[in-house]
Amino acid sequence: MKIIGINGWSEKFDDPATRGHDAAAVLLVDGRVVAGIEEERLTRVKHTGKIPISAIRFCLNYGNYSIRDIDYIAISISESSLNVNIKLDKLYHPEQKNMDRDIKSYIQRLIFEEFQYLFELGKIVFVDHHLSHAVSAYSLSGFNSSLVLTIDGTGEGISGTVWSGNANRLELLQSYSDSNSLGFYYKEVIRFLGYEMFDEYKVMGLAPYGDPRRYRRFFKKFYTLLPEGQYEIHFENIYYLSNILSPRKKSEPFAQVHKDVAASLQESLEVIVSHILNYFKQKSGHQKLCLAGGVAQNCTLNGKILYSNLFEELFVQPAAHDAGCALGAALYIHDSVVPQEKTNKLEHLYWGSDIGEPEAIEKTLKEWSSWLEFKKEDHIEKKTATLLSEGKVIGWVQGRSEFGPRALGNRSILADPRPPENREVINAMVKLREGYRPFAPSVLEEYAPQFYEIPPGQNMFPHMIIVLRVKEEKRTLLGAVTHVDGSARVQTVNRHTNPKYWGLIHAFKELTDTPILLNTSFNNNVEPIVDSVYDAIICFLTTKIHFLVIGDFLISKIEADAKRFLPMRISLSPYATITQSKRHVSEKSESIFHEIGVVYSDKYTIPLSSELYRILLLSDGKRTLHSCLQEISPCDVTNEELVEEIQELWSRRLIVLYPA
Edge-to-edge strands, sheet with 169-177:
169-177, 158-166, 145-155, 288-292, 313-316
pLDDT at 94 over 80: no
Q: What is the pLDDT of residue 326?
A: 98
> Is residue 156 pLDDT above 60, yes or no?
yes
- Among 354, 350, 349, 355, CA closest to 550: 355
Amino acid 92: pLDDT:
63
Q: Number of helices (H) and strands (E), helices first, in the chain?
A: 21, 28
Mean pLDDT, rounded, for 320-349: 93
Distance between CA atoms of residues 513 and 58, nearest Å: 41
SS3 state at 4? strand
> What's the pLDDT tens digit per position in 364-408?
999 999 999 999 999 999 999 999 999 999 999 999 999 999 999
Q: Which of 193-202, 261-270, 322-331, 587-596 has the lowest mean pLDDT?
A: 587-596
| Phi, psi of 168, deg, nearest 5 | 70, 20
Q: Which residues are CB-neighbours of 96 under 8 A, at least 6 positions away?
A: 89
Look at the chain and count its residues: 660
Cβ(527)–Cβ(598) below 8 Å: no
What's the one-letter identity of residue 584?
Answer: H
Residues near 380 by beta carbon (within 8 Å), at least 6 away in sequence: 549, 551, 552, 553, 554
CA distance 655 to 651: 9
**Is it the case that residue 274 has pLDDT exceeding 70?**
yes
Beta strands in 535-648 (DSSP E): 547-550, 553-557, 568-572, 576-584, 590-598, 601-607
> d(Cα 78, Cα 373) in Å, to the nearest integer?
52
Whether the CA torsion 154, 158, 164, 166 is positive or negative: it is negative
> Of 660 and 478, which is predicted with more confidence?
478
Compute φ and ψ for 52, nearest 5 degrees. Answer: -80, 60
Over residues 523-543, the pLDDT tens digits come to: 999 999 999 999 999 999 999
In the predicted model, is pLDDT for residue 299 greater than 70? Answer: yes
Split at pLDDT 50, 70, 90, the class of 342 is: confident
Residue type (1 letter), 628: C
Q: What is the pLDDT of residue 193?
A: 96
pLDDT digits (tens, 9 = 90+) for 11-52: 876 655 556 899 999 999 999 999 999 999 999 999 999 999
pLDDT of residue 268 exceeding 60, the answer is: yes
Q: How confident is the model at residue 429 (pLDDT cuts 50, 70, 90)?
A: confident
Contact present, 233 and 182 (Cβ < 8 Å): yes
How high is the pLDDT of residue 546? 97
Q: φ, ψ for residue 262 (rounded to 5)?
A: -60, -40
Give the separation between CA 14 and CA 21, rounded to whole angstroms: 9
Residue 297 pLDDT level (bands cut at 50, 70, 90)? very high
Contacts of 243 (CB under 8 A, 6+ apart): none
pLDDT band of residue 344 (cuts 50, 70, 90) is confident
Residue 440 has pLDDT above 90, yes or no: yes
- The mean pLDDT of 495-521, rounded to a whole number, is 98
What is residue 252's predicted lDDT score, i.e. its pLDDT? 92
Q: Which of 68, 72, 69 is nearest to 25 (CA)?
A: 72
What is the reported pLDDT for 637?
54
CA distance 224 to 552: 56
State percent of the chain over pLDDT 90: 82
Residue type, 344: N
**C-alpha–C-alpha distance, residues 470 and 452, integer Å:** 5
Q: How would you label 368-405 residue by residue, b for 16+ Cβ within 10 Å and e otherwise?
A: beebbebeeeeebbbbbbebbbeeebbbbbbbbbbbbb
Q: What is the DSSP string of 263-305?
A: HHHHHHHHHHHHHHHHHHHHHH--SEEEEESGGGG-HHHHHHH
Name the DSSP class of 7.
E
Judge contact between 517 and 507, C-beta under 8 A.
no
Q: Is the Cα torsion angle 552, 557, 558, 564 positive or negative in sign? A: positive
pLDDT score recorded for residue 339: 83
87 band by pLDDT with thresholds 50, 70 and 90:
confident
Q: What is the mean pLDDT of residues 545-563?
A: 93
The residues, ordered by sequence, that sit 6+ positions from 250 with a Cβ below 8 Å of its Cβ are: 194
CA distance 172 to 170: 7
**Cα separations in angstroms, 75 against 6, 55, 131, 635:** 5, 14, 11, 53
**If we measure between CA atoms, which residue out of 107, 138, 100, 142 comes closest to residue 122?**
107
**Average of pLDDT values for 272-299?**
98
pLDDT of 634 higher than 70: no
| pLDDT bucket at 93, cuts 50 / 70 / 90 | low
For residue 585, pLDDT beyond 80: no
| Whole-number pLDDT of residue 479 | 97
Work out whether the CA dihedral 377, 382, 386, 388 comes out positive or negative.
positive
| Nearest Cα residue to 228 out of 192, 280, 177 | 280
* Three-class DSSP category at 515: coil
Fill in the amino acid letter for 530: V
Q: Which helix (H) or strand (E) holds 33?
A: strand 32-38
Residue 587 has pLDDT above 70, yes or no: no
pLDDT band at 458, cuts 50/70/90? confident
Q: Which amino acid is at 405?
A: P
φ, ψ dihedrals at 582, nearest 5°: -105, 135
**Torsions phi, psi for 233 (to 5 deg):** -100, 130
pLDDT for 603: 77
Q: Which helix (H) or strand (E) holds 115?
A: helix 103-115
Percent of the chain at pLDDT exceeding 70: 96
Q: Which of 210-214, 353-357, 610-614 has the lowest mean pLDDT?
A: 610-614
**CA–CA separation, 498 and 381 (whole Å):** 13
User: Is the pLDDT higher at 584 or at 546?
Assistant: 546
Q: Quick one: pLDDT at residue 97?
A: 62
Task: Give the pLDDT band (50/70/90) at residue 96.
Answer: low
Q: Looking at 137-141, 163-167, 411-415, 454-458, which range is the least confident one?
A: 454-458
pLDDT in tens, 159-205: 999 999 999 899 999 999 999 999 999 999 999 999 999 899 999 99
pLDDT band, residue 242 (cuts 50/70/90): very high
How far is it, in rounded angstroms, from Cα 396 to Cα 357? Answer: 16
Mean predicted lDDT score pLDDT of the chain: 93
CB within 8 Å of 146: residues ≥ 6 apart: 138, 165, 286, 287, 288, 289, 290, 313, 315
